[in-house]
Each structure stands twice: as C-alpha cells, then as structure tokens.
Amino acid sequence: MPEPLPRTAWLEKPGVPCEPDPAARARPLRVVLLGAPGVGKGTQAELLTARRRVCQLSTGDVFRAAKAADPCHRSPALEEALGYMQRGELVPDETVIAIVKERVACLRCDGGFLLDGFPRTVAQAQVLDQLLADEGLGLEAVLSYELPTARLVARLGGRRTCSNCKSVYHVEARPPARDGVCDRCGGPLVLRDDDRPEAIMVRMRAYEQSTAPLADYYAARGLLVPIVAEGTPEEIYARAEAALEQRTAAVAAAQR
C-alpha cells in the first residue's frame, strides 16, 4: 500500500499549505464516511485514501495530534475540545464545528476529501452543507458502513492502533506481521482508551443517539450509499468502489 498522504494542514493548525496529490486532481472524490464504532470505517478510509489518492480528514486524528502538540500551537477551539475529552465528555457541536472551520481550506482542496468522524450529528451536517455551498462544492456520496451490533462489539475488543502512524489492525481479522508491531512504521500497537470494554457501550449509545440519525438526513437528500461491512477489507472496499462507480454513472446519465 502506498504511503499515506500528508495531512499537515488538517492535523496541525490553520495556515499550513495543502499539497494535493496530482493523481487525485484527475479524479477528485468528496465523500463522508458513516458507521458505528468497530465497523471498519478506518480501514476503509485507509484503502480509499491510498487508491484514490484523496486526503483523509479525520477529526479523531486532529484530537490525537493535539494531545501530543505543544500547547502553544493549539487553537482555543482545540484546547476547549481537549478539556471536554479529559473530563470524559463528548465534544459539543459548536466546538467541533469551530475546529473544522479553522481547516476549511482542506475542503477546498482540488484533490477532494474523505471526511471521517465529521459530521457526527445532523447539526454538524447542516453546517458542512453550508460550508461546502459557500465554496461552490457538494458531496459526491455518503458511504454508510453497516454491521449488526454484536459483530461490532467483537471487533472493537480486538482492535489495535499504531501509536506513531495511527494504522489500525485487529488481532484476528487483520493482525500485523509481528505481534504488537506496526507493519508500516515499526511503531508499537496499543489498545486505545475508547476501545476498552468500559468505553465501548458508551460509544455505541452516543452513536445511536446522535450519529445514526445522519443516515436518515442523508438518505432524504439522496446521498446515502449503504455498504455491507461483512467480509474482508478488500471485499468491503470492492463493494464501496462499485457503489461509487454506479452512482457516478447514474448522476452523469441524469445530467444528459
């Protein structure tokens, strides 16, 4: 798999220049990924990013990068978000929206984008709609990865994340070549705090209450593309690509 694209502008702070991949400019992709915790959305984001050469914009990665950053380099919105997280509280819509607005240049990137972790609520989705409309842009699709809850809980308990490059593995479904060591960068694999048993059910409840209604919102706008998230990562990826190609063809036909 090719090396991940640089996301300096998204991860660090406003004002950092964006350098889109030339290959992505020829075939820009602007999509949102939806799916409950453990559905494999992160793995699919990696595959789409590597093969479409589009930049993955993950709010979760922003928060994790901010934790390790010099406090002097954090914006007020990021400081506020970290405060909520340290108290074990959900980051409110207005704070998340402020963080994304600081990085609106990433949405303008002519190589496209893949939004992962934003929007999480209908209110956030409505703000995203306005941000894109202001830039003369629109979403191509919203890929909704779907799997029964029992399967999701089993997946989460076995997930491991590289502490350096954030690559995601699973002890059974996608193990690294060496136990506990990232294949890509050699960094240590860890069990994230939000993948621990006591946190899993909290995440599931939060998803059902705030994020799941997004499916209805995007379905009403004709953007929702359900993807069955059962099988290997390659099988799931193939379903997503086929669905995107079918949607692109249908939109082109409707415009003739």
Query: What residues are labeled active site?
Result: 41, 120, 159, 192, 203
Q: Which of 141, 129, 120, 123 is nearest to 207 (CA)?
A: 120
Distance from the first to the final alpha carbon of the chain: 37
d(CA 18, CA 179): 35
Q: What DSSP element (H or E) covers 90?
A: none
- List the structure tokens of 98: 């402020």
Q: What is the DSSP string of 165-209?
A: T--EEETTTB--SBTTB-TTT-PBEE--GGGSHHHHHHHHHHIII
Q: Taking the CA atoms of the chain, what radius of gyration do you get in angstroms?
A: 18
Among candidates 220, 14, 15, 9, which has minimal Cα distance to 126? 220
Hey, is 72 helix, strand or coil? helix
Tokens of 28: 């820009």
Distance (Å, rounded) from C-alpha 31 to C-alpha 113? 7
- For residues 132 and 139, the answer to whether their CB atoms sit within 8 Å is yes
Distance (Å, rounded) from C-alpha 64 to C-alpha 66?
Answer: 5
